[in-house]
Amino acid sequence: MLNITGLNQFYGGSHILRDVTMEVPKGSLTVLLGRNGVGKTTLLRCLMGLVRAKSGTIAWAGQPLETLLPHARVAQGLGYVPQGREIFARLTVEENLLVGAASRKPVSQVPDRIYSLFPVLKEMKKRRGGDLSGGQQQQLAIGRALMSEPQLLILDEPTEGIQPSIIQEIGRTLRQLVDETGMTVLLVEQYYDFARSLADRYWVMRRGEIVANGMGAEMETQGVREMIAV
């Protein structure tokens, strides 16, 4: 389980994260929803060690993470798909994927399981990452994160700027990873319908604070759509 307790972060004089406390159960797909600018990406950057939290604790599987550098958190089982994908445009698809395995033992080829999840990547493995469509780049970013064999996969708005057909494929893949491999997924989203279709649990953030949480099946009756629309 991922446990976040009393997390605070500031940018200059702005209080971005305000005593954020939440849990992500092992083997589940948990969504964090909220409008732009409420602190969701900052929270994920704190989880990965890209930003040092001012106060609070982060623990994965009972191990504290807040003092670890980003690469050490990956070695502890965290995988991260950042907003905007951040693939290496000049590297081929295959090279991008192999970079994702850098925290593990050296590998010379991409495992079949990655290509089975994203067949388009196998078709285009010799093509440069920058030549792929936005949806294909997003699949590449997820595949790259999976190359580190994470136990916890963290995704920051993977549907942003993606065509509906690819969004559906990504949703099926995330659900498959949870249901068939037992992976834990934390998904940050604004797209309510996509989040509701996948969530085992949900959390809602507003102005840097957690304001609601519950079971994914209860999102409609709990008025989550309205919470993120205001």
Measured in whole angstroms, how far is the alpha carbon of residue 11 from the centre of its chain? 22
Q: What is the DSSP letter of 224?
A: H
Q: Name 213's bridge partners.
A: 203
Q: What is the pLDDT of residues 151-189, one digit of tens each?
A: 999 999 999 888 898 999 999 999 999 999 999 999 999
pTM: 0.93
Residue type, 96: N
Angstrom CA distances, 97 to 92, 101, 122, stand at 9, 7, 11
Q: What is the pLDDT of residues 29-74, one digit of tens each?
A: 999 999 888 999 999 999 999 999 999 999 999 999 999 999 999 9
Residue type, 122: K
Find the radius of gyration of the CA atoms of the chain.
Answer: 17
